[in-house]
Amino acid sequence: MGNEENQYKVIGTRPIRPDGVDKVTGRAAFGADFSLPGTIVGRVLRSPHAHARIKSIDAKLALALPGVRAMVTGADFPELPDEITAGGEAPVNFRDVSHNVMARAKALYEGHAVAAVAATTAAIAEQALALIKVEYEVLPHVIDVRDAAADGAPVLHETMFTSGVEPAPKKPSNVAGRTEMGLGNVEEGFAAADVTVEREYTTQAVHQGYIEPHACVASVTTDGQATVWSTSQGQFMVREFCSRLLGMDRAAIRVVPSEIGGGFGGKTTVYLEPLAIALAKKSGKPVKMVMTRDEVFRATGPTSGASMKVKLGAKRDGTLTAGDMTLYYQAGAFAGGPAMLGCMTGFAPYALTNARAVGYDVVSNRPKAAAYRAPGAPMAAFAVESAMDELAQKLGMDPIELRLKNAAKKGTRAIYGVKFPEIGFVETLEAAKKHPHYSAPLGPNQARGVASGFWFNIGGQSSAAVHVNEDGTAEVVTGNPDIGGSRASMAMMAAEVLGIEYSKVKPTVGDTGQIGYSFLTGGSRVTFATGKAVCEAAQATVNELRARAAKLWECPIEDVEWKDGAAHPVGGQTDTRTVLSLAELAESAAKTGGPISGAVGINAAGAGAGFGTQICDVEIDPETGKVTVLRYTVVQDVGRAIHPAYVEGQLQGGAVQGIGWALNEEYVYDGNGRLDNPGFLDYRMPVASDLPMIDTVMIEVPNPGHPFGVRGVGETPIVPPLAAVANAVSRAAKVRLADLPISPPRLLAALDGK
């Protein structure tokens, strides 16, 4: 930051977004915007019961309805082994995905798909759903995570036994697994403490809240070749999941990604695509499926609600001596919630030598949880950062000073084993401390909270290709949907390496038939990993350009260097040679060997960890319990901001989603386990008028694992807000708010209970 400001020509500038105009004018084509001639409509019949045995499905009347073309139930999908598979790069139990996509013997939550039909119109498809007779045996259900983990709870899966405990249990349980990780000796650590804090915390399930519902079109030829157009965070993910769920070759499925109207982790799995393929196969017609908002809420993954306990011990000077946390995370109806990720991330900002984290992955009669921006981290951070705030209060220390005293640095070992390389956590704390926001005056019923947060970020497999066009412009192709501006950042990195203008590089999101395998857009991996692939592909292109110049100059390639978008003789010797621009080399490509391209596939390691610190000012209304966010500042180490405007957008968006999680969002179930608020009117996400402008401060501590120093920036910003808001409210209310959301009734109750 600062002294490197001018080293790049394109990186760090803020060019026009290639997807911007289309998106604001409504021209961009999202999942529901694609159709083929002859397309018919698929709709899903969903369980009205939270837990029920499916005794029979009678579709005679439905199939007899004119216009109905096909129907599928669980019987149409192959049974898969109950095992965890690599699944791209994240571990996945495809049997569970298959059973989630279409129920088999039991419906495990209200909204669980039970059958699907395809008909010539949506109205006929809806009529057909009403004509399907499903005989259910309603079973006792369980919604709360602690209730579900308790002995005697209704068991969802008779074949599920808690993993990670000794001796192996003989009784089935809703606790899918127990994870423990640690450092040092926690008991000794607490014994050495002068001060301890210990508290239980809860958070509620919240939905990713993407504006665009799930949508797809599938077309299958009579010789079994499928093409799927869909909105997702990964066309290769969709291909793999469909391939596994339907027993088809990868090569028999081509997935073309649409624009995506938000995913936030919620579009890292499939719901409709396998049904659409199955219906398309049966009907011989292209099948389009689009969820309603109601279906999105009832049947797609929210993130886990959590029940947590955290204990911290510290010396009187603030030095942490020990930390202990126990996390119960909802997994929804199938195992695989992010409890382990909570264990990994909660203590990560601090140089703790004695720490323990125990996580429980618990199923209950809720929709299967899906990833949501830094999956598992915001809840654990809420607990730990709340405890840090309470500790600071007990010690009479400034909360930033307490964090600075214990901040993880290069060389700090995290609870999950890694030793951090260059990280910028201290820099975010210092920047927050000196930010005008931190010393601004506060009025009555107002208070300031701070919290920090961490996300490890991931790398993984990505492919990229750079093609030089005949006129010296270039194409850059990657295999990742553009959610947060990756077309711009890919084009910028390619332009920087090639040495040409950004406007001369056209970024394209490839389909699975045209670009090599790329893991999905998530984990804050794309700008880092796919960006690294783009840099390497562009570098390979530069090397090819040098080789072409060498051919024209009849010299060794070593005598040709590339700078400012042109081949130069090394050392500038200028016998018969002159400078050859990229455009000139492109024009002569035919005679020097053909089209000029660079293409790579990589498995990127070295994703830089992301740390952030956020400051939140609130005012509480003691009469109504309403919390108003007055001012909010996000400080984050972003490694290198390729396109700073997009990075700022990530920081702002993460903070806003976290504020909603802290103050308003929650799943409200009735006594029958049915969701009471499946719409944006009753499920209250913050909108622009609820919030101040979110201020951002980008710290750039370059990640040595990326050519331009990129770190993932998309997930870290959602980690601190839950605690930042709760800490501010707790200070304003003078009572610790440990249960989210801090909705007016809950705040009033806390004020009353004080």
**8 A C-beta contact, residue 265 and residue 233:** yes
* 307 vs 461, beta carbon nearer a copy of itself: 461
| Nearest of 324, 309, 339 to residue 162 by alpha carbon | 339
Give the pairing type, strands 306-314 and 302-303: unpaired
Instruction: Quote the tokens at residue 509.
Output: 């999101």
Instruction: Quote the tokens at residue 668.
Output: 């409200």
* 140 vs 595, beta carbon nearer a copy of itself: 595
Closest separation between CB of residue 384 and a copy of itself, Å? 32
Backbone angles phi, psi at 705, to 5 degrees: -85, 0
**8 A C-beta contact, residue 633 and residue 432:** yes
* 578 vs 603, beta carbon nearer a copy of itself: 603
Closest separation between CB of residue 419 and a copy of itself, Å? 22
* 540 vs 719, beta carbon nearer a copy of itself: 540
* 175 vs 490, beta carbon nearer a copy of itself: 490
Closest separation between CB of residue 145 and a copy of itself, Å? 33
- The residues binding a copy of itself (CB under 8 A) are 16, 18, 20-22, 25, 27, 29, 33, 36-37, 86, 88-89, 219, 221-223, 225, 240, 243, 249-252, 254, 460-463, 465, 467, 469-471, 473-475, 477, 503-506, 508, 510-518, 589-591, 593-597, 599, 601-604
Backbone angles phi, psi at 646, to 5 degrees: -65, -40
**CA of residue 258 relative to chain centroid, distance:** 18
* 195 vs 599, beta carbon nearer a copy of itself: 599
* 603 vs 624, beta carbon nearer a copy of itself: 603
| Nearest of 283, 295, 363 to residue 330 by alpha carbon | 363
Give the pairing type, strands 627-637 and 694-699: parallel
Long-range Cβ contact pairs of 393-399 (< 8 A, separation 24 or more): 393/731, 394/195, 394/197, 395/195, 395/314, 395/316, 395/318, 397/318, 399/449, 399/450, 399/727
* 142 vs 529, beta carbon nearer a copy of itself: 529
Closest separation between CB of residue 189 and a copy of itself, Å? 37
Closest separation between CB of residue 647 and a copy of itself, Å? 22
Question: What is the C-alpha to C-alpha distance for residues 426 and 107, in angstroms, rounded to an integer?
Answer: 49
Question: What is the C-alpha to C-alpha distance for residues 456 and 640, in angstroms, rounded to an integer?
Answer: 16
Q: Which residues make Cβ contacts (< 8 Å) with residue 60, sequence separation at least 6?
A: none
Prior bond of 167 cis (ω within 30°): yes
* 467 vs 643, beta carbon nearer a copy of itself: 467
Closest separation between CB of residue 118 and a copy of itself, Å? 16
Question: What is the C-alpha to C-alpha distance for residues 456 and 449, in angstroms, rounded to an integer?
Answer: 24
